[in-house]
Structure 1
Amino acid sequence: MTRRRSIFASRLVNTASDGEQPHVLDDLRRAILDGDEPPGTTIPIDAVAKVFGVSQNPVRESLKILIGEGLVEHRPHIGYSVAKLTFEEFRELYDVRQALEASALRAAVQHATPEDDRLVGEIHEAMATATRTHDERAYHAESRRFHMALIVPSGMQRLLRMYESAWNITEPARPMARIDDVGRTQFYDDHDRMVEAFVARDADLLLAESSQHYAHLREAIAVFADDPDVFLTG
């Protein structure tokens, strides 16, 4: 536990410029979403406060907000830590994401522009590059950008916020970084067909390809369902 305690504080980045108030909440959230600290990692208030040069109060307030976002949990007499889910809870968030994404895709196809097509294609190729170079961090980040780029044209702001929130809760587990090359190739093929349907403005085909992609995602995450470093067990 001591090792994780020191690592969390040492990896925190204070992004505030000289003379600017520390961005305690944003920087803590970013550290968790980057996935460098696995689920269950202790968040030491005193060490975090020192990184930002603040008292413990703003750190506690920020952690309370992150609890509300599902990224942090608190246990009496133990303290704060990066939230750790059961595999069933984790898989349920994929169901939530699929339902929200399906709702947004049909509207996105109706409102998408050639610029949206360009962005989706650009991100798709960035994922291909990450796969070829075995860059797990880049692949993880581009996967999220790809799905967001497909649904942002929908203009459904409340839905987009709910979708992003559901995605955020799964980020500490870094699921896409745990997928092997065979799985990534399969996802690339899924995405390739999704891009074609998106550009063709074929909503029915896009939803069908998205459904198939989520089936493949569920198969992939099931492989590490019993990993105690990722999920709560027992």
Structure 2
Amino acid sequence: MASTAPRRRSLFTSRLVNTAAEGEQPAVVEDLRHAILAGDEPPGTPIPIDAVARFFGVSPIPVREALKVLLGEGLVEHVPRVGYAVAKLAFAEFAELYDVRAALEASALRQSVLRATAADDVVVHETHAAMGRAMASGDERGYHAESRRFHVALIGPAGMQRLTHMYESAWNMTEPARPMSRVEAGGRSVFYDDHDRMLHAFVARDADTLVAESGRHFGHLREAIAAFRDDPDVFRPV
């Protein structure tokens, strides 16, 4: 069930960016999706249709259609008597998405090791190094972005497009909560060490170790998100 009332007055439109060039039709779906995935407006934030329509210079109709698309992606929810809002999950739903990612990643990694090339090794090394720089500078957003690139780089060589789509969709649904912003630097250091072991197993084409290290990493992630499972600003009460 969705939350029954907005947590606060929406400032959603202040975060929007219209990426359309002059004379082009606004990319309403893509720009709304980007605003939600950026995590600047937390779960439960109302999305005012009329204000969004004014921002893009369109009627409410394409905004409603865009929100229906994002509803199907699990990024927004429709709140009775209130309207649309950034989706707010129960903790169990949120944790389940990590289980989904773990299972999909394990499946893809075995194929990825079989097909990876030296060029793939370079990409994985580059994203791992970028994570380290972001962690050293205290750039939580940068760390999170590079962590995602790292995981996608590991499974990319498998060439499993449908699996990768499901994997990224599951990841997207947890983005509005900005989980890495709630993990202290020490926790991110543990994740980075996990990634380091995963990198070495990938380069060595050691599928068994790589899958085992991926499983260990997701165990650490589950422990981290459990620490804020009772935060009502993040999760919907059961």
CA–CA separation in structure 2 for the residues paired with 1:212 and 1:163: 18
Query: Who is 2:36 aligned against?
Result: 32
Query: Who is 1:195 aligned against?
Result: 199
Q: Does structure 1 conserve the Cα–Cα contact (< 8 Å) formed by 2:7 and 2:44?
A: no
CA displacement 1:175-200 (0-9 Å, x = unmatched): 11211111011111100000000000
Query: Who is 1:168 aligned against?
Result: 172
Matched, 1:95 2:104: no
CA–CA separation in structure 2 for the residues paired with 1:155 and 1:141: 21
2:151 to 147, 151, 154: 147
CA displacement 1:107-132 (0-9 Å, x = unmatched): 00111111111111111111111111
Q: Does structure 2 conserve the Cα–Cα contact (< 8 Å) formed by 1:108 and 1:151?
A: yes
Query: Who is 2:20 aligned against?
Result: 16
Runs of 4+ with >2 A deviation: 1-4
Query: Who is 2:3 aligned against?
Result: none
1:67 to 66, 71, 79: 71
Change (3 A) 1:59 1:71: same
Q: Does structure 2 conserve the Cα–Cα contact (< 8 Å) formed by 1:44 and 1:80?
A: yes
CA–CA separation in structure 2 for the residues paired with 1:133 and 1:3: 32
Query: Who is 1:212 aligned against?
Result: 216
CA–CA separation in structure 2 for the residues paired with 1:178 and 1:146: 20
Query: Who is 1:123 aligned against?
Result: 127
Deviation (angstroms), 1:3: 5.6
Q: Which runs of 5+ in 1 are unaligned?
A: none
Q: Does structure 2 conserve the Cα–Cα contact (< 8 Å) formed by 1:197 and 1:205?
A: yes
Q: Does structure 1 conserve the Cα–Cα contact (< 8 Å) formed by 2:127 and 2:150?
A: yes
Query: Who is 2:80 aligned against?
Result: 76
CA displacement 1:201-227 (0-9 Å, x = unmatched): 000010011111011111111111111
Deviation (angstroms), 1:233: 1.4
2:115 to 111, 114, 128: 111
SS at match of 1:16: coil
Matched residues, number: 233
Q: Does structure 2 conserve the Cα–Cα contact (< 8 Å) formed by 1:194 and 1:206?
A: yes
CA–CA separation in structure 2 for the residues paired with 1:3 and 1:87: 21
SS at match of 2:26: coil
Deviation (angstroms), 1:76: 2.5
Question: RMSD of aligned C-alpha atoms?
Answer: 1.1
Matched, 1:183 2:187: yes
CA–CA separation in structure 1 for the residues paired with 2:79 and 2:186: 39
Q: Which runs of 5+ in 2 are unaligned?
A: 1-5
Query: Who is 1:47 aligned against?
Result: 51
